[in-house]
Amino acid sequence: MNDFLDVAVQTAREAGKLLSELFERPHQISYKRPLDIVTEGDRRSESLITERLRRHFPDHGIIAEEGGGHSSNSDYCWYVDPLDGTTNFAHGFPVFCISLGLARRDEVVVGVVLDPTRQELYTAERGGGAFLNGKRLHVSKIDKLAEGLLATGFPPFDNHHELNIGYYLRFTRVSHGVRRAGSAALDLCSVASGRFEGFWELKLNPWDKAAGALLVTEAGGRITDLKGGPFKLRGNEIFASNGLVHEAMLRVFSQAASGDLPGRDASLVPGNLPVD
């Protein structure tokens, strides 16, 4: 397994160097469909990564976001997000990463996420723990949702926004807040490192979440769907937490389905907002 991890780390570092250089220059942006952008960073990072993975593991399959992968009969398949946080990258907002996950028969066994801006390298092997720049990671010990910092994301092209804005509203009322930083892989790493207590998203692709999901479980966290059912790499939904706030968050998802608004305080309706 070491070889898989070593190659993934080396490849992510090379792609990170490339993205850091491109980030400083004006970006050529094109549209995959309305609102869904792609930059030369996505394409060039993906070419570099797929070339390296093919060279080292010619029989492995590769599923890569910009279409540079190939199928194979091997049990092993790499899930490649060459630039997670494309919109941030395109706007010069320095929150983006490279995410590489290796699955064996749909079970992720190696995960590497590199944040080139902060030089933060997240690594995990199934059963071997999760690490940030070589230091062991553990999810946070906060066990009250009211004391938790959460995160979510909204895909650029999809019609689930209203549903998720409902969740966003509810969790904003009952926690320290909900961040929407624009990189699902980094959001998952932040659950693994204890910066966030929980993260959910409704429409993610396997390349967004393969590596980050392994990081969370190897750091002692829990991953399910939004009803508490098993997490599926090829499914859309993901809900990751430190485990301690999981049940409380599941109750909020379920209340949202019944239209109940937790934390509503009549004194806080517009017009009654307190001013310091």
| Closer by beta carbon to ligand IPD, 116 or else 153 | 153
Binding mask 201-230 for ligand IPD (x = CB under 6 A): x--x---x----------------------
Tell the smallest beta-carbon distance from residue 158 to ligand IPD (Å): 8
CA torsion angle 54 115 123 99 (round to 10) = -40
Which of 26, 49, 50, 48 lies closest to 39, judged by CA? Answer: 26
Q: Alpha helix (H) ranges present in 24-156? A: 40-56, 86-91
| Closer by beta carbon to ligand IPD, 200 or else 248 | 200
Taking CB under 5 A as the criterion, the residue among 84, 187, 218, 237 binding Ca ion is 84
Regarding 81 and contact with Ca ion (CB under 5 A), the answer is: yes
> Angle 206-218/184-192 helices, nearest 10 degrees?
0
C-alpha span between 70 and 83 (Å, rounded)? 19
Taking CB under 6 A as the criterion, the residue among 16, 182, 194, 220 binding ligand IPD is 182
Quick one: what does residue 154 bind among ligand IPD, Ca ion, none, with the CB cut-off 5 to 8 Å set by partner type?
A: ligand IPD
Q: Alpha helix (H) ranges present in the chain? A: 2-23, 40-56, 86-91, 161-174, 184-192, 206-218, 246-257
Residues that bind ligand IPD (CB under 6 A): 81, 84-87, 153-155, 182-184, 201, 204, 208
Residues that bind Ca ion (CB under 5 A): 65, 81, 83-84, 208
